[in-house]
Amino acid sequence: MPNINLSDKRNRDAVVKAESIGIDEPVRYLGPKGGQTYTRRVLKCTTEHDYETLLEAHGDAESISQALIAGDPEVDLERFGQFLWNTSKVYINPDEELVFRVQQTEVVRDTKGKLITKRNRESEEPNVDSDVPLRWTGKLIPKSQAIRQFVFTAKLQVVHINGLTYDFLYAMAEELANANSLMLLGAGEDGKQPLIFRRGSIPYRAFLEGRIVDKRYVLLLHLSNMELKRRVENRKSNQSPV
């Protein structure tokens, strides 16, 4: 779990832990004999047997269909169905050859699918455990307002690593609990940048919530990359989000 360098209202900072709190799948599957089953990845097709290769070999779709009736050109009986492990993601060109050097471009489209720009891909560096701590922006948002303004898609629980950081985090949780509000955190020198946990990963806006029960505390980092608002209608594209 990632370390985060977090500062409080007084700009005192400390490195603490941010732990995942998602619950693992609560359901498992038993086979007919009662034993636990496991999922395995299985080879279903290779580039030597895919549609493009068959098209090249047989000329047209009609000829492929005749070949499928006459035999099994799409199946490698020796290999299809074998378990897969230690596989690697690679790039291939239109000739289905391995490519070792690529150039990547980001294609930016608006909500209607209209091309806005193309630009070189740049992967942002992580900024949650750098020399510059995450800062309280001073933007305190009541909880009931925050849940109606933002979509919190992920959460991390901030926990101490020693006695000193326990006091540090407990005080933070107490202050936020008393305010019954979430504090917007920011990264970078200006304290306004979104949080990036891994190189090239999704940047998130982060809101810190505190709760206390006696001498125990909860500090939750609510992560959001989306506001709660009506969508812009008439969009056609179905690509990955900005």
**164 to 223, contacts with another protein by CB under 8 A?**
166, 184, 190, 192, 194, 197-198, 200-205, 209, 211-213, 215-218, 220, 222-223
- Residues near 46 by beta carbon (within 8 Å), at least 6 away in sequence: 76, 79
Among 10, 23, 70, 189, binds another protein (CB under 8 A): 23
Per CB under 8 A, the list member of 26, 60, 62, 77 interacting with another protein is 26
Cα separation, 186 vs 165, in Å, equals 20
Token pair 């603490």 in the structure block, residue: 16
Residue of 155, 174, 175, 179 that binds another protein (CB under 8 A): 155
Site string for another protein, 73-112 (x = CB under 8 A): ------x----xxxxxxxxxxx-x-xx-xxxxxxxxxxx-
- If binding is defined by CB under 8 A, does position 55 make contact with another protein? no
User: What burial class does residue 170 get, using C-beta atoms within 10 Å of its C-beta: 0-12 exposed, 13-18 middle, 19+ buried?
Assistant: middle
Query: Least separation, in Å, of the C-beta of 119 and another protein?
Result: 9
Nearer to another protein, 12 or 139 (CB): 139
Report the nearest approach of another protein to the CB of residue 130 (Å).
Answer: 17
Residue whose tokens read 């925050």: 146
C-alpha–C-alpha distance, residues 61 and 67, integer Å: 10
Tokens of 53: 């290769």
Up-side HSE of residue 5: CA atoms within 13 Å toward CB? 14
User: Contact between 229 and another protein (CB under 8 A)?
Assistant: yes
Among residues 11, 66, 144, 178, which is the contact residue for another protein, using CB under 8 A? 144
C-beta of 70 vs 122, nearer to another protein? 122
Cβ nearer to another protein, comparing 71 with 94: 94
CA dihedral 141, 144, 150, 155 (to 10 degrees): 90
